[in-house]
Amino acid sequence: MTEYQPSGLSEKLLGIWLRFSLRVLLKPVLSPRWSIGLQRRWLAGIASTTLVPRGMDISPVTVGGVPGEWLQRRGVPPVKPGTLLYLHGGAYCIGSAATHRSLTARLGSAMGLPVFAANYRLAPEHPCPAALDDALAAYRALRALGPVLIAGDSAGGGLALATALALRDAGDPAPAALLLLSPWVDLTTPDSEPAPAPGEAMLSAAWAHSCAGFYLGGRPASSPPASPLHADLRGLPPTLIQAGTDELLYPQAQALHAAMQAAGVASELDITLGRWHVFQLHGGLLPSADQAIARLARFALGPLAAATPPRHSEHEVVIMGAGMSGICMALQLQRAGLHNFVILEKQPGLGGTWWDNTYPGAHVDVPAPVYAFSFAPNPRWTRRFAAAPEIQSYLQTLAERHGLLAHLRLDTRLSEARFDEASGQWRFKTERGDSLRARFFVCSTGPLNQPRWPDIPGLDSFQGARLHSARWDARVPLQGQRVAVIGTGSTASQLVPPIAAQAGRLHVFQRTANWVVPRLDRPYHLLDRLLARCPPYAMGARWCWAQVLELGRRGFDEGTLARKGLIKTSTLHRQHQVRDAALRARLTPNYPLGCKRLIYSNDFYPALGQRNVELVTDGIARITPQGIVTTDGQERAVDVLVCATGFDTVHLLAGVQVTGQQGQTLARAWAEGPQAYQGITVAGFPNLFLMLGPNTATGHTSTLLYIEPAVRHAIRCMKAVQAGPHQWIAVKPEAQAAYNAQLQTRLQGSVWSQCNSWYRMEGGRIVALFPGFTREYVRALRTPGLQDYQLV
Ligand code: NAP
């Protein structure tokens, strides 16, 4: 069970107002004292005042003989198969597709799926099982179009569950997932009148009881269609149950979750504190309702992808990777009017690095204002150096707000991409068997996505828990354990302090001591967040930080004041934080500052000084089933082995077979190391655009400052092809060769050539880093001409 605590002033004020309105306008009418006809008209009248999101086409349709509404995003063709069947609440007697339109439209928009909201037959005219028969008929007709998710609220939630049970019993294909909002799943009358739920703003037990009587029409309340809670729940699809704590049906949500778990169903219970029955109906107004709808959409994506059989689809653009650069590309494609794109993501969630890196203490090491897109500032950062979950949530929110979930295929790993010269199109295959075709191919996987395990003998023989920082498993207990961390780079500096706080014994294996400077972190308070909502302030803060970071680039040039300042700051930091002279000596770097990535940390050195922490600087000879043996022959017994040993930045895109013109593969073209023109295009691979490609990393600033201009440049190339109309665009081989020759000349003799790091290959060629200032890169990409390109 996950609990959510709504927060914020607007949430509080709107919550008070909405609860009051429901109590005054709705609850008195939902009563056995009034006729069903009057209740239906009253509810329809109130619902007509609710806001339906713009951009949705809503049309009356009949599906499987059942009338209802079809809701679909206007002008955006669905990029993935699937439908949402929505069963409205109203205790089986009142309500309709129209009364729940605001919610169904928002759900469809968030999931990027068309919705069929069924007007199933209502009691008392049509008692049980008429509603169930209608839901089954609609489901079976929709199933012909692909996988179907079933969602419902209140009585509709109970009906959704009953439908899934009936489908299972009849041997029909199961729904991809069930989304149950405050479901009414038990119509059996409790022995005693339930205590009124504190804060319940809509339902009363008396009204529910009278509706149950109409719906049952003399049938036993315990029968599965009426009270599916008491049925055999085994074999049901993944289910998300949402409820508020302030509602009559909260106990039913808990009981259903417990019963589903006992039956082995992948069930999740999502509780919003202090919220009333089906508060999601207030989406668009109440932030906690929008968040709950977003969670429903997020939950549904994985099961929907799993239930979708392999298929063929055609697009204008295929984006591989839903991290920072993939999301940026998708948002800018939308702005440019290119809507037919699909994002393929191998993980079950979006965020790229920020999805992968969930190790304790993970955060960004540049100030948050420059870690949000210039066109989408984030006023919600809680501190200057944002933690990984905050960044993932920023990206998630952006994707949801801009309808990107509709374009996203999770759990989908691209295995092959082949350029077809005859058509000027890319053809793709995924590991799950899909085939796709698109004119343009954007690789936005970045250099830091393939974890690198250390090449230490015996690694595989270790019998304790073995973790890589980029594939963290939070279920592995650390409390009181003997833990070893291999590596002392940026990642290790972040995860060592939280692990030191829990572990019984922590051994940190350092091969090279690094340059560490203070992290000027601070929490953001209410005033910061208010100011961040003011566009001139937000833009100004971002610009100022970008300039400050840009100054840091001077620190990599020998003899500059900035360099002297950085060296002095780091030395003083070490002296101040490491009192033990012997330990300090072992933590003193022996390579020029800047050659490896600078570490920004205030808690790494203090953690190394803790009593339960040992810094090991003897080399590692081998790993045994029980621990680590150093070159002096000493073995340290270990329960958990953490490898913070970075990423393979040399074999970019190794998991995908990319074939360009004349059958040439990217792996062959990059046999001497990856290279591209401006880090974006590769000769011989038309219509291919790399985001954060070779030689675009920096040691001093935010990658976003490189991503945005690269995205703009790629879209300009795409537009040039479309405007032609041409078939493809490719960088001229001589332009790429000249660009890289100049780049490597600049890099030779630079600070980055003076030690080993993930910036360089073993032979010494620097493949990851851009040697100049950010403004230089941005200016080069802004140059309007495409004279270095061939358009065919
Ligand atoms: P890294 O900088 O490559 O560091 C890897 C560490 O593992 C180094 O200390 C390395 O030692 C050590 N190591 C590797 N193989 C080893 C072996 N066989 N035996 C012993 N030690 C070994 O990797 P990272 O710390 O994961 O950082 C990679 C990059 O990710 C960073 O530079 C940064 O750009 C990015 N990052 C960013 C953030 C952020 O906030 N934005 C956070 C974390 C990481 P040597 O130095 O001797 O090779």
Confidence band (pLDDT; 50, 70, 90) for 243? very high
Predicted local distance difference test score (pLDDT) of residue 294 = 84
Predicted local distance difference test score (pLDDT) of residue 77 = 64
The CB of 758 under 6 Å from ligand 1? The reply is yes
- Please, what's the largest Cα pairwise distance for the chain? 91
For residues 174 and 400, give the distance between their C-alpha atoms in angstroms, rounded to a whole number: 27
405-429 per-position pLDDT tens digit: 888 888 899 999 999 999 999 999 9
Question: For residue 264, what are its two tokens?
Answer: 């082995």
| Arithmetic mean of pLDDT, 186-208 | 79
Predicted local distance difference test score (pLDDT) of residue 57 = 87
Which of 381, 391, 452, 490 to probe ligand 1 with, by most ligand atoms within 8 A of CB?
A: 490
pLDDT exceeds 70 at position 450: yes
What are the C-alpha distances in Å from 103 to residues 30, 278, 284, 373, 527? 20, 10, 9, 29, 33
Which of 468, 469, 510, 597 to probe ligand 1 with, by most ligand atoms within 8 A of CB?
A: 597
The per-residue b/e assignment along 41-58, b for 16 or more CB within 10 angstroms, e otherwise, is: ebbeeebeebebbeebeb
Better-scored residue on pLDDT, 157 or 649 = 157
Nearest atom of ligand 1 to the alpha carbon of 645: 7
pLDDT exceeds 90 at position 145: no
The CB of 491 under 6 Å from ligand 1? The reply is yes
Predicted local distance difference test score (pLDDT) of residue 190 = 67
268-297 per-position pLDDT tens digit: 999 999 999 999 999 888 989 988 998 898
| Arithmetic mean of pLDDT, 611-634 | 97
pLDDT exceeds 80 at position 52: no
| Arithmetic mean of pLDDT, 209-220 | 92
What are the C-alpha distances in Å from 257 to residues 198, 229, 440, 685? 21, 10, 45, 51
Angle ∠(134,139,143) on CA atoms, nearest 5: 155
| Arithmetic mean of pLDDT, 188-196 | 69
Confidence band (pLDDT; 50, 70, 90) for 309? confident
Closest protein CA for atom 38 of ligand 1: 364
Proportion of the chain above pLDDT 90, given as a percent:
79
Predicted local distance difference test score (pLDDT) of residue 784 = 63
Predicted local distance difference test score (pLDDT) of residue 191 = 60
Closest protein CA for atom 21 of ligand 1: 487
Nearest to 546 by CA among 375, 702, 377: 702
Angle ∠(634,636,642) on CA atoms, nearest 5: 130
Kindly report the average pLDDT of the chain as a whole number.
93
91-128 per-position pLDDT tens digit: 999 999 999 999 999 999 888 889 999 999 999 999 99
The H or E element spanning position 467 is strand 465-468
Per the CB < 8 A criterion, the answer to whether 30 and 82 are in contact is: no
The CB of 696 under 6 Å from ligand 1? The reply is no
pLDDT exceeds 80 at position 330: yes
Predicted local distance difference test score (pLDDT) of residue 411 = 85
**3-state DSSP assignment of residue 387:** strand
* 229 Cα distance to chain centroid: 33
| Arithmetic mean of pLDDT, 153-157 | 97
Predicted local distance difference test score (pLDDT) of residue 78 = 64
Nearest to 484 by CA among 456, 519, 450, 514: 456
For ligand 1, the distance from its centroid to the CA atom of residue 496, given in whole angstroms, is 13
pLDDT exceeds 70 at position 79: no
Nearest atom of ligand 1 to the alpha carbon of 363: 40
The CB of 365 under 6 Å from ligand 1? The reply is yes
Q: Are strands 729-731 and 115-118 parallel, antiparallel or unpaired?
A: unpaired
**Is residue 583 packed enough to be buried (19+ CB in 10 Å), middle (13-18) or exposed (0-12)?**
middle
696-717 per-position pLDDT tens digit: 998 889 999 999 999 999 999 9
